[in-house]
A and B are shown apart, each in its own frame.
Chain A
Amino acid sequence: MPVKYVFLRAGFICFAVFCSALLWAQDVDTTGVTREDSLLLEGFGEDDLLEGFGDDELNYKPESSGGEKYWSFSGDFTISPSYNYNHQSHRLGIDVLPFPVLPQVIGDVANYRGLTRLRLKSDLEFELRLPKNWKVYASAYAFYDFAYRLKGREDFTSETLDAYESEIEWQETYIQGSLTTNLDLRFGRQIINWGRADNIRVLDVLNPLDLREPGMVDIEDLRLPVTMTRLDYLMGNWTLMAAAIHEIRFHKYPVLGNEFYPLPIDWPEESMPANTFKNTEYAAALSAVNIFPGTDFSLHFARFYNDAFHLKIALPQLLLQHARLTMFGASIGLVRASWLFKSELAVFNGLKYSLVQKKKSRFDLLLGLEYSGFKNTVLALDFANSHVLKYDKLLALAPDQISQNDMQMVTTMRKSFIRETAHLIAVVILQDDWGEKGAFARLSISYDWSDNLEFAVGTVQYKSGELLLSKQAADNDRIFFDIKYSF
């Protein structure tokens, strides 16, 4: 058994034991006071009791605030260095291929050991409130990464520099309002996040993801907004949503020469459907809250392009293509005391793979449990399985690497300290059983120095697995820091 495999499994178990011990220790103290004990505390004299209300040194002088504005402008600046302390191979992709490749095909590439990111990023948001509760919202971000200049830009591929050195992106930008008392409209670039789990996607299919640096993308930037027209009709506890998606975007993947890119050659050309009426994607959902006490429920339908690609092999040409899929799904969320039970299921039709001509269908099921009975703490465990119907064994080979049942398990712990100024987040994601197809763990702690200034530090650990992407990521373990100023 590989050493790192043992390490990750041991780490996972230790993490679980640590959480349990921490929370158990916290819990027992609370129950140490009996009613009799508390009655013994009656011995306070009247003066002692009232003294506590005297003026103390913790005072506040209010600042004068202006009247209510009809617009707002806010944002942040973040500087985020990261340091890769485990990088071994400077021949990206060569080690993971099942066939030999001459070094001159790609040659030596950048050394990603050491400083891998020194990114200065700014997020900006603007909101304009219009009459009758309509509003316009716009957001964008821009970043420049100084790490490439410091390490020598000539060592990196042009694809890497294009994708990682600098970027400006429009994020959510839309107009929103009510057409009638019960009918809402939102038009523009936006995100619709279906489903109940935070870290596994079953129903969350409408927005592609930024997968260029797995585990390192800020959660607010993970989903890529797309232009759509969204209508919501409210009927008591029920909401009917329909959306037409006009802009076709797909996942952003690592590019040639990057530390997460698994091949010594560039991706084949990608076939992009045009943003035409014919290619419009559609989505609809019917959701209800409290259909039974503490129970939320939803039904989903989507006709969309798969954000993940398959390889179209038409020798001598290779093309990356995206299949048009149909999805039917449902979800349920159920609260009982401190427990939240989550479930999602979906059937996908029209899936295409690289090595099999025939379209396939897939059944996805997610079961999740969240516990928040411990003080300022949330523990979550999500488990999902993707089952390919009428499975063909060819799918097990690269580049598809799909099993008939692909499992994923995510464990999360979130805990806040010091009156919610410090936050600990630990996430372990295992692909297939105990991570046979790859895994990563992320641990971060952040501290709000003030309302405007936040510091964060963390680490991401990757475990190699059968998937090409996870093999390439295996030696990219890193620590990272963030300093964020909000205004």
Chain B
Amino acid sequence: MKTNFRILLLFAAAIFAGNQLQAQALTAREIVEKMQNRDDGDNEISDMEMILIDKNKKIRVRKIRTFSKDKGRDNRRIMFFLTPADVRGTGFLTYDYDDYGKNDDQWLYLPALNKVKRISAGDKSSSFMGSDFNYSDMTKKNLPDYDFTLMKELEINGVKVWQIQSVPKSRKVIKETGYKKGVIFIRQDNFVAIRAIYWVARGTRRKYMEVKDLQLIDGIWTVKEIHMTTKEGKRAVHKTILKISNIRYNQNLQDNMFTTRQLEKGL
């Protein structure tokens, strides 16, 4: 199963650890692997509200409807912008491949051009729609590209977590993802990453990811609200809040839904 969009940040997992003692014996890499290979549901429809807040507390809000379907081990996802008015009708189609050696396929529909454009997925370090999330945050990580270290165990909000450090093995990965280091806090009871810190490749900024609302929906651990804050020292310079609502799994989504023709048709 593939990571889907409502998670956005890779390390939100959903596999129950039935046996705590067994879980504690896992290595850092094994823990992260379990997160990535989680069951995240299929044939999903959801609404996303993306709230962007800058350092002057100016707020921008984007509303997006997302459809997602697994295709074998790959994932197909189509998104339509509902608001604001100037981007309404814009659509984004992604074929996300499980094979790390294969680039994602992406198409964009711009109402102003009346045209579906194929776009390259090469620059994953760019901001996703002006948010604090990068495009690299939206896809699975290639785990062999990283060194993982289990730093310690601790409690956050009364829940035991592992604190794991991830360091890219090459400058190429740093450049591609936009991060030079990460620290992830993973719940030991359900393997969901509830917090993460990322060191931005350029400059001294860090990004803080925090899951604010996690619910079990149809047996699938589902992130309903997630915050990503970019900080310079201790000062927040920008923040993105993602709220996911109207989540429905196991809908009867046809393959026709995930086509460039559907991008043109819109919702």
Residues of A within 8 A of B (CB): 29-35, 37-39, 41-42, 46, 49-53, 56-60, 62, 72, 74-76, 176, 181-182, 184, 191-193, 196, 198, 219-220, 223, 232, 234, 236, 239, 287, 289-290, 293-294, 296, 333, 335-340, 370, 372-376, 416, 419-421, 448, 450-452, 454, 484, 486-487
The answer to whether A52 and B208 touch across the interface, beta carbons within 8 angstroms, is yes
By beta carbon, the residue of chain A nearest B174 is A33
12 more contacts with CB within 8 A, not counting A53-B210, A289-B118, A335-B118, are: A30-B202, A33-B171, A37-B180, A56-B239, A62-B49, A335-B121, A370-B120, A419-B52, A450-B58, A450-B60, A451-B61, A451-B86
B57 at the interface (CB under 8 A from A): yes
**Interface residue from A76, A223, A419, A448 paired with B114 (Cβ < 8 Å):** A223
Partner of A372, one of B52, B107, B122, B171: B122
Interface hits, B219-267 → A, CB 8 Å: 229, 231, 234, 236, 238-239, 241, 243, 254-256, 259-261, 265
Closest to A374 in B: B123
- Whether A239 contacts B125 by the Cβ 8 Å rule is no
Instruction: Judge whether B214 is part of the interface by a CB distance below 8 angstroms.
Output: no
Given the known A-B contacts A176-B265, A419-B131, are A42 and B114 also in contact in the complex, defined by CB atoms under 8 Å?
no
Count contacts on B: residues with CB < 8 A to the other chain. 77
The listed residue (B57, B84, B168) touching A58 by CB distance below 8 A is B57
Contact of B120 among A38, A62, A337 (CB under 8 A): A337
Q: Is there contact, CB below 8 Å, between B259 and A239? A: yes
Q: Which of A29, A39, A58, A193 contacts B236 (CB 8 A)?
A: A58
Total A-B pairs in contact (CB under 8 Å)? Answer: 181
| B171: contacting residue among A34, A58, A420, CB under 8 A | A34
Q: Which residue of A lies closest to B194 (CB)?
A: A53
Q: How far is the CB of A14 from chain B (nearest CB, A)?
A: 25
**What is the 8 Å Cβ interface bit string for chain B, positions 158-173, against chain A (1 contact, 0 not)?**
0000000101111100
Measured in the bound complex, the distance between the Cα atoms of B52 and A196 in whole Å is 32
Q: Tell me if B183 and A49 are in contact (CB < 8 A).
A: yes
Residue of B nearest to A190 (CB): B114
In Å, the complex CA distance between A296 and B118 comes to 8
Task: Contact check, B236 vs A289: say whether CB atoms are below 8 A apart.
Answer: no
Q: How distant is B165 from chain A, measured CB to nearest CB, in Å?
A: 7
A219–B112 Cα distance when bound, in Å, is 6
Known contacts: A373-B122, A420-B129. The answer to whether A60 contacts B59 by CB under 8 A is: yes
Q: Is the CB of A486 within 8 A of B85?
A: yes
Q: Is the CB of B239 within 8 A of A58?
A: yes
Instruction: Decide if B122 touches A52 in the complex (CB within 8 Å).
Output: no
Contact (Cβ within 8 A) B60 A56: no
Question: Hey, which chain B residues are within 8 Å of A450, CB to CB?
Answer: 58, 60
**Residue B127 CB within 8 A of the other chain:** yes
Q: Given known contacts A60-B59, A289-B260, is B119 in contact with A376 (CB within 8 Å)?
A: no
Check B54 against A419 for contact (C-beta < 8 Å). Answer: yes
Residues of chain B at the chain A interface (Cβ within 8 Å): 49, 51-55, 57-61, 83-86, 88, 95, 102-103, 105, 107, 111-115, 117-123, 125-127, 129-131, 152, 154, 156, 165, 167-171, 174-175, 178, 180-181, 183, 195, 197, 199, 201-202, 206, 208, 210, 229, 231, 234, 236, 238-239, 241, 243, 254-256, 259-261, 265
In angstroms, how far is the closest chain B Cβ from the Cβ of A52? 5
Do A452 and B84 form a contact, CB below 8 Å, given A49-B197, A58-B57?
yes
Enumerate chain A residues within 8 angstroms of B206, measured Cβ to Cβ: 52
Q: List chain A residues, Cβ under 8 A from B180.
A: 33, 37-38, 41
Chain A residues with CB under 8 Å of B51's CB are 60
Cβ-defined contact, B236 with A192, below 8 A? no
- In the complex, the chain A residue whose C-beta lies closest to that of B134 is A375
B residues within 8 A CB of A454? 86
Contact among A35, A62, A451 for B84, CB-based, below 8 A: A451
By a CB distance below 8 angstroms, the chain B residues around A372 are: 119-120, 122-123
Q: Are A35 and B88 in contact (CB under 8 A)?
A: no
What's the minimum C-beta distance from A227 to chain B, rounded to whole angstroms? 15
Which residues of chain B are near A296, meaning CB under 8 Å?
118
- The CA-CA distance from A239 to B229 in the complex, in Å, is 43
Q: What B residues does A338 contact at CB under 8 A? A: 120, 122-123
- Shortest Cβ-Cβ A-B pairs, 5 listed: A338-B122, A420-B130, A451-B84, A419-B130, A486-B85
A373 CA to B52 CA in the complex, in Å?
A: 25
User: Within the assembled complex, what's the spacing in Å between the Cα atoms of A456 and B113?
Assistant: 19
Asked whether A42 lies within 8 Å of B165 as measured between CB atoms, the reply is yes
Provide the bound-state CA to CA distance between A339 and B103, in Å.
12
- A336–B174 alpha-carbon span in the complex (Å): 20
In the bound complex, residues from chain B placing their C-beta under 8 Å from that of A416 are 130
Q: Which B-chain residue is minimally distant from A219 (CB atoms)?
A: B112
A53:B236 contact, CB within 8 angstroms: no
In contact, B199 and A38 (Cβ under 8 angstroms): yes
Min distance, Cβ B50 to any Cβ of chain A, angstroms: 11
What is the CA–CA distance of A59 and B118 in the complex, to the nearest angstrom? 36
Shortest CB distance A189–B (Å): 12
Q: Are A451 and B120 in contact (CB under 8 A)?
A: no
Which residues of chain A are within 8 angstroms of B52 by Cβ–Cβ distance? 419
Chain A nearest CB from B162 CB (Å) reads 13
The answer to whether residues A39 and B122 also contact, given A60-B51, A293-B102 and a CB cut-off of 8 A, is: no
Q: List 18 A-B contacts (CB under 8 A).
A: A31-B174, A33-B174, A35-B169, A35-B170, A35-B171, A38-B180, A46-B154, A52-B197, A52-B234, A56-B236, A62-B243, A76-B86, A176-B265, A337-B120, A375-B125, A419-B130, A451-B84, A486-B86
A219 to B83 CA separation, bound complex (whole angstroms):
20
Name the contact of B105 in the complex, choosing from A223, A335, A448 (C-beta under 8 A).
A335
Residues of chain A with a CB closer than 8 A to B165's CB: 42
Does B181 lie within 8 Å of A38, measured CB to CB? yes
Q: Nearest-CB distance from A39 to chain B (Å)?
A: 7
CB of B67, distance to nearest CB on chain A (Å): 13
User: What residues on B are CB-neighbors of A420 within 8 Å?
Assistant: 127, 129-130
Docked Cα-Cα span, A487 to B210, in Å, equals 33
**Max chain A Cβ within 10 angstroms of own Cβ: one of B88, B122, B167:** B122
Q: With the chains together, A184 CA to B165 CA distance in Å?
A: 50
Partner of B118 from the list A35, A39, A340 (CB cut-off 8 Å) is: A340
Q: Please report the C-alpha to C-alpha distance between residue A251 and residue B66 in the assembled complex, in whole angstroms.
A: 38
**What is the minimal beta-carbon distance from A419 to any residue of chain B, in angstroms?**
4
| Residues on the B chain within 8 Å of A484, using CB | 86
Contact B120 A340 (CB under 8 A): yes
Docked pose: A84 CA to B133 CA in angstroms: 42
Nearest CB in chain A to that of B152: its residue? A46
Contact indicator A339/B174 (Cβ below 8 Å): no
Q: Are A333 and B210 in contact, CB atoms less than 8 angstroms apart? A: no
Give bound CA distance, A51 to B111, whole Å: 44
A38 and B103 contact, CB distance less than 8 A: no
Q: How far is the CB of A140 from chain B (nearest CB, A)?
A: 15
